[in-house]
Structure 1
Amino acid sequence: MVTAVFAAFACSAPAHAQEGGDTDGFLSSLWNKTTFNALVRADFSYRTTSFQNPYNQNNMPFQDVDVPRQAYVPPALSTGLVNNALGVLGLPGLNIAQPLDWNVPIPGFSDTVKRSDFIPQNDTEYNYNTLRFTGEMDTKFTQNLRLNIRLRGIYDPEMYDLFDANDVSGLQGGIKGGGGDRYADTGKANLFEAKGRNGRNLNPLEIAGRNYMIDLPTFIVNYKTGPFDFRFGNQQIAWGQAIFFRTFDVANGLDYRRHLVIDRAIEEYEDERVSKIALRGTMQVTDTMIADGFVGKFQPDIVGNPNTPFNVVPAQFYRPLDNYYTGNYDTKIDYGIRMKADYGNWGYQAMAVRRYNPLGVFHWTESGINDGLYGGLLGNIVESAYALKLPNCGALYNPSTCRMYGSVGEALSHTPLTIAPAGVYSAKEWFSSAAGVRLDGFDMVNTIIKEYPALQDVFASEVQDPEQTAHLLNTFFLGAGGSIRGNVARDYYRENVFGVGGTYVTSADPSSFLDSIILNLEVQYTPQRAYTRPDLSSNPIKSDEFIFTAVAEKWYRYTQAFPAAYLVFQYQHRTDSDLVGLNLRGYGGNARNQEYRPSDGLGSADYFVFAGFQPTPNRKFIFEWAFLLDAEGGLLAQPNVRWNPGNDISVDLFYNYVDAGAWGSGRSTLQRAFDYADEVALRFTYTL
Structure 2
Amino acid sequence: MKQTRKSRRWIYSSAGLLALTAASVFAQDDYSGTTTNAESDGKSSSFNISYSGSLRYDMSIATANENPFNQRGNLFNGVTVNRVSFDYPLGSPPTIFATPDPATRTGDPAHNAFNMQLLRADLRADIKFNENFNFVARLRAVADPGAYQEFEPGDVGSLAAGRMYGRPDYFHQDVEGKSRPNPLEWSNRIGMIDLPSLYFAYNKGPLLIKLGNQDIAWGQAIFFRVLDIPNGIDFRRHSILDYASEEFQDKRVPSLALRTSYQFDSGWLADGFVQKFQPTVLSNPNTPYNIIASQFTVHDRYGDYDNKLNYGLRFKGDIGKFGVQAVAARRYNPDGVFRWTESGVNRDIPGAPGSGGLLMQTPFEIDPTGVWTAKEWFTYAAMSRLDGVQGLNSAIDDFPAGTGPLGALNVGTDMPTASLELDTFFRLSGSGLRGHIEREYRAETNLGLGGSYVTQSSPGSWLDQLIINVEALYTPDRSFTNPSLGQKFLKQDELVTAVVLEKYQSIVKELPATYVVAQWMHRTRSDILGRSLEGQGGDTNNVPTGKNGYDAFVFALQQPFPNLVWRADLAVLYEPFAGGILVQPGVRWKPNGNLTIEGFYNYLNGSLNGNSNSSSVATFSSRDEFTMRVGYQF
Pairing of 1:635-654 with structure 2 (within 5 A): 635-646=581-592, 648-654=594-600
CA contact (8 A) 1:102 1:471 kept: no
Q: For residue 306 of structure 2, give the secondary structure of its aligned residue in structure 1.
A: helix
TM-score for the superposition, normalised by structure 1: 0.85
CA contact (8 A) 1:368 1:414 kept: yes
CA contact (8 A) 1:75 1:102 kept: no
In the other structure, the counterpart of 1:321 is 299
Task: Give 1:30 deviation, angstroms.
Answer: 8.8
Match of 1:631 among 551, 576, 592: 576
In the other structure, the counterpart of 2:203 is 224
In the other structure, the counterpart of 2:108 is 120
Which whole-Å CA distance do the structure 2 matches of 1:323 and 1:101 have between them? Answer: 38
Task: Give 1:557 deviation, angstroms.
Answer: 2.3
Match of 1:589 among 527, 532, 538: 538
Which whole-Å CA distance do the structure 2 matches of 1:359 and 1:104 have between them? Answer: 45
Moved more, 539-548 or 561-570: 561-570
Task: Give 1:561 deviation, angstroms.
Answer: 3.1
In the other structure, the counterpart of 2:6 is none
Q: Which amino acid aligns with 1:183?
A: R
Q: For residue 302 of structure 2, give the secondary structure of its aligned residue in structure 1.
A: coil
Q: For residue 612 of structure 2, give the secondary structure of its aligned residue in structure 1.
A: coil
Which whole-Å CA distance do the structure 2 matches of 1:680 and 1:496 have between them? Answer: 40
Task: Give 1:207 deviation, angstroms.
Answer: 0.6
In the other structure, the counterpart of 2:129 is 141
Distance 1:315 1:31, change over 3 A: farther
In the other structure, the counterpart of 2:69 is 55
Deviation string for 1:514-542 (max 9, x for gaps)?
A: 11111111111000000001111121000
Which whole-Å CA distance do the structure 2 matches of 1:505 and 1:8 have between them? Answer: 47
Which whole-Å CA distance do the structure 2 matches of 1:564 and 1:14 have between them? Answer: 37
In the other structure, the counterpart of 1:364 is 340
Q: Which amino acid aligns with 1:540?
A: F
Question: Is 1:36 the counterpart of 2:51 in the alignment?
Answer: yes
In the other structure, the counterpart of 1:658 is 604
Task: Give 1:13 deviation, angstroms.
Answer: 13
Q: Larger radius of gyration, structure 1 or 2?
A: 1
Which whole-Å CA distance do the structure 1 matches of 2:133 and 2:155 have between them? Answer: 55
Which whole-Å CA distance do the structure 2 matches of 1:241 and 1:192 have between them? Answer: 30
Pairing of 1:155-304 with structure 2 (within 5 A): 155-169=143-157, 174-177=158-161, 182-185=162-165, 187-304=166-283
Q: Which amino acid aligns with 2:214?
A: Q
Task: Give 1:312 deviation, angstroms.
Answer: 0.3
Q: For residue 562 of structure 2, give the secondary structure of its aligned residue in structure 1.
A: coil
Which whole-Å CA distance do the structure 2 matches of 1:372 and 1:506 have between them? Answer: 70
CA RMSD, 1 decimal = 2.6
Which whole-Å CA distance do the structure 1 matches of 2:45 and 2:434 have between them? Answer: 57
Q: Which runs of 5+ in 1 are unaligned?
A: 16-21, 79-99, 375-379, 384-406
Which whole-Å CA distance do the structure 1 matches of 2:217 and 2:613 have between them? Answer: 33
Task: Give 1:472 deviation, angstroms.
Answer: 1.3
In the other structure, the counterpart of 1:94 is none
CA contact (8 A) 1:163 1:188 kept: yes
Question: Is 1:68 the counterpart of 2:82 in the alignment?
Answer: yes
In the other structure, the counterpart of 2:553 is 608
Task: Give 1:559 deviation, angstroms.
Answer: 4.6
Question: Is 1:352 the counterpart of 2:294 in the alignment?
Answer: no
Which whole-Å CA distance do the structure 2 matches of 1:205 and 1:666 have between them? Answer: 39
Question: Is 1:443 the counterpart of 2:407 in the alignment?
Answer: no
Task: Give 1:62 deviation, angstroms.
Answer: 2.5
Pairing of 1:364-403 with structure 2 (within 5 A): 364-374=340-350, 380=351, 382-383=352-353
Which whole-Å CA distance do the structure 2 matches of 1:661 and 1:462 have between them? Answer: 33
Question: Is 1:111 the counterpart of 2:77 in the alignment?
Answer: no
In the other structure, the counterpart of 1:412 is 359
Q: For residue 597 of structure 2, give the secondary structure of its aligned residue in structure 1.
A: strand
In the other structure, the counterpart of 1:340 is 316
- Count of residue correspondences: 610
In the other structure, the counterpart of 2:463 is 514
Which whole-Å CA distance do the structure 1 matches of 2:574 and 2:120 have between them? Answer: 31
Distance 1:482 1:230, change over 3 A: same
Deviation string for 1:597-645 (max 9, x for gaps)?
A: 111x111001100112010011110111111111222100111100112
Q: For residue 444 of structure 2, give the secondary structure of its aligned residue in structure 1.
A: strand
CA contact (8 A) 1:372 1:408 kept: yes
Identity %: 39
Q: Which amino acid aligns with 2:489?
A: P
Which whole-Å CA distance do the structure 1 matches of 2:211 and 2:346 have between them? Answer: 46
Deviation string for 1:203-262 (max 9, x for gaps)?
A: 221111101011111111110112100011111100034333111100000111121111
Which whole-Å CA distance do the structure 2 matches of 1:102 and 1:217 have between them? Answer: 61
Which whole-Å CA distance do the structure 2 matches of 1:11 and 1:676 have between them? Answer: 42
TM-score for the superposition, normalised by structure 2: 0.91
Q: For residue 353 of structure 1, give the secondary structure of its aligned residue in structure 2.
A: strand
Q: For residue 389 of structure 2, give the secondary structure of its aligned residue in structure 1.
A: helix
Which whole-Å CA distance do the structure 2 matches of 1:649 and 1:13 have between them? Answer: 17
Match of 2:506 among 514, 535, 557: 557
Distance 1:31 1:312, change over 3 A: farther
Distance 1:492 1:498, change over 3 A: same
Task: Give 1:11 deviation, angstroms.
Answer: 11
CA contact (8 A) 1:30 1:141 kept: no
Task: Give 1:195 deviation, angstroms.
Answer: 2.0
In the other structure, the counterpart of 1:19 is none
Distance 1:305 1:134, change over 3 A: same
Q: For residue 184 of structure 1, give the secondary structure of its aligned residue in structure 2.
A: helix
Which whole-Å CA distance do the structure 2 matches of 1:425 and 1:176 have between them? Answer: 15
Deviation string for 1:427-481 (max 9, x for gaps)?
A: 1001101111101111111101100011112221112411111111111112111
Q: Which amino acid aligns with 1:157?
A: P
Which whole-Å CA distance do the structure 2 matches of 1:243 and 1:257 have between them? Answer: 21
Distance 1:210 1:297, change over 3 A: same
Q: Which amino acid aligns with 1:40?
A: L
Q: Which amino acid aligns with 2:181?
A: L
CA contact (8 A) 1:13 1:31 kept: no
Pairing of 1:421-500 with structure 2 (within 5 A): 421-453=368-400, 454-464=402-412, 465-500=414-449
Which whole-Å CA distance do the structure 2 matches of 1:285 and 1:239 have between them? Answer: 19
Deviation string for 1:52-93 (max 9, x for gaps)?
A: 211011222322321012442459834xxxxxxxxxxxxxxx
Q: Which runs of 5+ in 2 are unaligned?
A: 1-12, 31-36
Which whole-Å CA distance do the structure 1 matches of 2:623 and 2:55 have between them? Answer: 25
Q: Which amino acid aligns with 1:254?
A: I
In the other structure, the counterpart of 2:7 is none
Task: Give 1:184 deviation, angstroms.
Answer: 0.8
Which whole-Å CA distance do the structure 2 matches of 1:149 and 1:470 have between them? Answer: 56
In the other structure, the counterpart of 2:482 is 533
